[in-house]
Amino acid sequence: MNHGKMHLQETAGLYATAAALRLALFTLFPALPDLLTGRVEISTPVTSFKRLQEGLFLYNHNVSPYDGGVYHQAPLLLPLFSLLPDPSAYPIFTYVLYIMVDLLSAHALYKIAESGEAASSRLFTSARKDRRWSGYVVAAIFLFNPFTIATCLARPTSVFTTCAILHAVAKAIYGTPFTAMLSLSFAAYLSMYPILLLPPLVLLAYDRQHASNRILSLLQFAGTNVAAASVSLGALFAVSYLLTGSWEFMSSTYGIQLTLNDLTPNVGLWWYFFIEMFDSFRSFFLGVFWLHLSSYVGGLSIRIRSQPLAVVTLLLGIFGIFKPYPSVSDASLFFAMLPLFRHVFPLMRYSFLTASVVLYSTFLGPAFYHLWIYYGSGNANFFYAITLVWSLGLSLLVSDMTFAVLRDEWEVERPEMVGKEIRQI
Amino acid sequence: MRSFLSYIIPLFLLSCQVFASDYYEQLNLKPLPHSALLASFDFRSNTSLSQFEAQNFRYFPRSLGQILQHVGTRELHLRFSLGRWDAASWGARPWDGTKEGGTGVELWAWLEADTDEEADHKWLTLTNALSGLFCASLNFIDGTRTTRPVMSFISEGDHPNSTLANMHLLHGILPREVVCTENLTPFLKLLPCKGKAGISSLLDGHKLFDASWQSMAIDIRPVCPSDQECVLEIEQTIDMVLDIERSKRPRDNPIPRPPPGHDLKCNSSKPYHAGDTCFPADSIEGQEWALDQVFGKTMKGTCPLTDPDVPPVCIQAPDSRDVYTSAGVTELKTPSGLSRCYKVPSDSEFSLVLPRMSHEGENAKTNADEMVEPETPLLYAERSFTGHGQERGGVQSILTNPSPDTEVEFIYMETLPWFMRIYLHTLKTRIEGISGFNEDVVKEIYYRPALDRARGTQLELRMRIPPASTVFLTYDFEKSILRYTEYPPDANRGFDVAASVITILPSTAPNAPPARRKTSNLRTTSLLLSLPTPDFSMPYNVIIFTSTAVAVAFGGLYNILVRRFVAADEGPAVAGGLKGKIIAGVSKLAAMFKGAKGKVE
């Protein structure tokens, strides 16, 4: 009991420090939020705060924000933000909202870490399960990650998606599948791609059901949960329809992710590919890219069936690389989930390489973008090359972690192989 | 053909008695400061609506008339413009700016259609037909360049109430179109005298498109005089500001060369003025010029179809200015003493000479003796881009009301391309020159946001500017990056953004002067927007690199997922390294070869 109380004090201190740091950055450098909002690495066409403000302005002046090419975000954000005072006059309310969202995400992460699900699930217990970081450390790593802080300052709406995903995972782990599904449908409603997390999340929730009202059949459990997710998603769409008065928002928010009409540069691979793509092949490659993105879900869920949380983490990493409009905020979510797998870190083979590649592209990305856009001394290939390096670095990290998780699993069967050289056939 | 005409002409002569004023032409010359000359050509012809419906076109050009009938056009305005009107030194615009377009080609028309889709379809037909008729790329006015102005354009014609209900106004502008000789030739062909006689014989592509500013306009509208039958009127105007010194260059030797030292006009008031240093004097002092010199041609008599009572050439110069004309010309002075007109015999060539007037010596003349002081315009407007880089920028419009006592109310309309994503929430106005003015200058906003690849932004603002003050209107925008096939050739030149159209509303004050009681227009210059460009040379490379990155990630991950783990010394033995691979390969080849040999035998 005393131990728990101490923990509570510690985490409260952590959250207070994180909030204070963010508030200090907001207030001491008043130009910083707008500067970061303009960075293509953080704000994408589907999450940008500036576009949100434009959508809000149009919404408040009775112009449909979806009858235009600027606003591509979910309709429910509009009434939420129109409740807040005007961000240009009283920015503090917006700042507080974003800080709160970050703290909520951190708290969900804290609970996920404290559950110990990463190292010992229902079907599998790692031999290294004692080597782990507490929720305090995991939350701290999330809160003080420069990518997370930059995201919070730039105020993209992707933080809401991050928060919803983390809560969905936390609720699934704590045996409340319907809340998890509600949370996931919020995430999917806001940015569509989280719907792909449904299979591993259902598996996670199935594994972590409370003993009292346990549904034994996986099919039955999955059926009810998918139904719950669809119902809540349907309800969200219905509310949005009532709010905007038409279904226009569907093509504007989700259609743009499917068709990639807006080719604003970002850290992903899609934009330059589809700028340079020949017109006759555009639809074909859009299909290929989406198929590629969703192809990982089945493979990972089946192969790493015993550790659904690892599947969720790996998928988040993959989405951060291959989704249509990725940003640093998606990478920060993946980096937030990684420390849960502290126990497999020693099994990773390329940690130094991936760390250097990520750092390299983090520093060179903005520089090359500047060379292209402002100085004109570089061309688009400079920034494209950096996004390629960034994506390759992250995908190396994802594969490496997959390898580590699988080897960890294999070493439970073959305890004598710990530390030995192995190969895959 | 000849015999057919000779049969027709007597009929015309008969009817001419009835419609004596069916064709009208006049050239107005107005010397402007800094040795510029404004020449306004005005050609107007009428046909009664019933004759038009019956396809009796008379002076109305048949080629145009049939297009209009085919697509149900009730009123049409077409502009070809080039250059910039320098309002600061030339003052108010000719025709109150109503006969002027934005740089490039501008077209707006009222079409009769039951639905919007039908109107769009008719508009497409109209632009394509006019494109062929005027040798201009009007067919490029597609959905992204078409708007339906709500407040800015007001119909000039008299339309019956029955057609008024389903008339659709569509407006399109091509700022990149370069207006040139190939547009003048079809323009002249629409005139009854086809540039062979009358004032139109002065028009020459070399001089017209060498002007500092020029605007060719065609306006077609129905006019219903109160006691007569309704007529369809076509008015063609050409306005140009010639730089006299530039126009006087001989045609066979057009390359400007620096004048020899003794011919240089120096400003002797400079302290360093000496025999070997010279500060060029402003060309304020008038130059001698003649009509045939600045236009490169002489005027060949008058057009026989025009009303003989209307003097074909007028010049706005004070009576104190000396003007010499060729023989046989009658001079008519107006009572105001500020302009005079000339009646020209129908078969002789006409020219006009304005000698240089000395500002020194005994008979010194002042500027007021030499030219009529230009009127102050109702509003000055200029627009420019702010910011740097190819990611985002801003637009700043500076609107100045020069009048010391009257406020000016107008509609400011912008048509922006879709790849310029404007943020309306950043629209700000700042007012200078007047203190304690708290009212919002923007009274009303009509905004239709752009839709990617489908339509452009349409922004109309109704504004009111208090006397003697300047309003700065600013907003931010973001530059989109396009697909590489969407860039024009020479993508780094940038994209032209159409001029904004300002419609000054007639004053409602009871004691307003007549100049303020009618609608007038002005347009800003067009802007050049540079967008970020991809590398056009390497689509294949990008496709290959990205595909490789995707394949590496996918392949690497699936490789890990589908394979089994074994210890390094377990499983099928494979000799490691390159050597082992080569040995394995060779033995495989050998086995295949043996197998094939066995089959042959």
**pLDDT digit string (tens) for chain A, length 425 residues:** 455 566 778 889 999 999 999 999 999 999 999 999 999 999 999 999 999 999 999 999 988 999 888 999 999 999 999 998 888 888 899 999 999 999 999 999 999 999 989 888 888 998 888 888 999 999 999 999 999 999 999 999 999 999 999 999 999 999 899 999 999 999 999 999 999 999 999 999 999 988 887 888 999 999 999 999 999 999 999 999 999 889 999 999 999 999 999 999 999 999 999 999 999 999 999 999 999 999 999 999 999 999 999 999 999 999 999 999 999 999 999 999 999 999 999 999 999 999 999 999 999 999 999 999 999 888 899 999 999 999 999 999 999 999 999 999 999 888 888 888 888 88
Query: Is residue A307 situated within a structural domain?
Result: yes
Contact A392 B532 (CB under 8 A): no
CB pairs under 8 A between A and B: 167
Nearest CA in chain A to B537: A276
| Residues of chain A with C-beta less than 8 angstroms from the C-beta of B558 | 299
| Residues of chain A with C-beta less than 8 angstroms from the C-beta of B389 | 373-374
Q: Is B229 exposed, middle or buried (0-12, 13-18, 19+ CB in 10 A)?
A: exposed
- Cα–Cα distances (Å) from A394 to A145, A193, A278, B17, in that order, read 16, 18, 28, 88
Domains of chain B, residue spans: 20-250+261-370, 380-529
Paired strand residues for A365: none
From A68, A318, A398, residue closest to B451, measured CB to CB: A68
Helix and strand counts by DSSP (H, E) for chain B: 13, 28
CA dihedral A210, A211, A214, A219 (to 10 degrees): 80
Classified as helix, coil or strand, B293 is helix
From A275, A391, A403, residue closest to B481, measured CB to CB: A275
Q: What contacts A59, CB < 8 A, 6 or more positions away?
A: A65, A78, A82
Q: Which residue has the tokens 């919404």?
A: A59
Cα separation, B133 vs B121, whole angstroms = 19
Cα separation, A117 vs B547, whole angstroms = 36
Phi, psi of A140 (to 5 degrees): -65, -40
**Would you say how long chain B is, in residues?**
601
From B450, B482, B552, residue closest to A68, measured CB to CB: B450
Q: What is the 3-state secondary structure (H, E, C) of A163-221?
A: HHHHHHHHHHHCCCHHHHHHHHHHHHHHHCHHHHHHHHHHHHHHHCCCCCCCCCCHHHH
Inter-residue contact B262 to B303 (CB < 8 Å): no
Phi, psi of B488 (to 5 degrees): -75, 170
Pairing of strands B213-223, B167-174: unpaired
Pairing of strands B392-401, B231-243: unpaired
Contact A276 B560 (CB under 8 A): no
Cα separation, B320 vs B340, whole angstroms = 11
Cα separation, A108 vs A138, whole angstroms = 11
Chain A: give the shortest CA distance to residue B212, in Å.
33
| Residues of chain B with C-beta less than 8 angstroms from the C-beta of A278 | 485, 539
Interface test with B, best of A54, A383, A396, A413 (most B CBs within 10 A): A54
Nearest to B214 by CA among B170, B184, B173: B184
- Cα–Cα distances (Å) from A265 to A398, B483, B487, in that order, read 23, 12, 17
Inter-residue contact A191 to A160 (CB < 8 Å): no
Nearest CA in chain B to A398: B557
Q: Which helix (H) or strand (E) holds B373?
A: none
| Residues of chain B with C-beta less than 8 angstroms from the C-beta of A300 | 561
Interface test with A, best of B550, B563, B570 (most A CBs within 10 A): B550
Chain A: give the shortest CA distance to residue B543, in Å.
6
| CATH top class, domain B380-529 | mainly beta
Q: What is the pLDDT of residue B508?
A: 78
* Sign, Cα dihedral of B240, B244, B246, B250: positive
- Domain containing A312 equals 2-253+267-415
From A406, A417, A425, residue closest to B560, measured CB to CB: A406
- Domain count across chain A: 1
CB atoms within 10 A of CB B359: 14
pLDDT, tens only, B125-152 = 999 999 999 999 999 999 899 999 999 8
ipTM of the predicted structure? 0.93
**For B254, how many CA atoms within 13 A lie in the half-sphere containing its CB?**
9
From A54, A402, A421, residue closest to B561, measured CB to CB: A402
Angle between helices B116-134 and B62-70 (to 10 degrees): 160
Inter-residue contact A136 to A127 (CB < 8 Å): no
Cα separation, B569 vs B269, whole angstroms = 100
| Residues of chain A with C-beta less than 8 angstroms from the C-beta of B418 | 69
**For B502, how many CA atoms within 13 A lie in the half-sphere containing its CB?**
26
> For chain B, which ranges sit under pLDDT 70?
1-21, 251, 282-286, 358-365, 367, 573-577, 595-601
Query: Is residue A421 situated within a structural domain?
Result: no
Angle between helices A91-115 and A135-143 (to 10 degrees): 150
Inter-residue contact B401 to B433 (CB < 8 Å): no
Q: What is the pLDDT of residue B156?
A: 86
**For A408, how many CA atoms within 13 A lie in the half-sphere containing its CB?**
29
pLDDT, tens only, B317-364 = 888 888 888 878 888 888 887 888 888 888 888 888 888 776 666 666
Contact A396 B556 (CB under 8 A): yes
From B424, B557, B563, residue closest to A399, measured CB to CB: B557
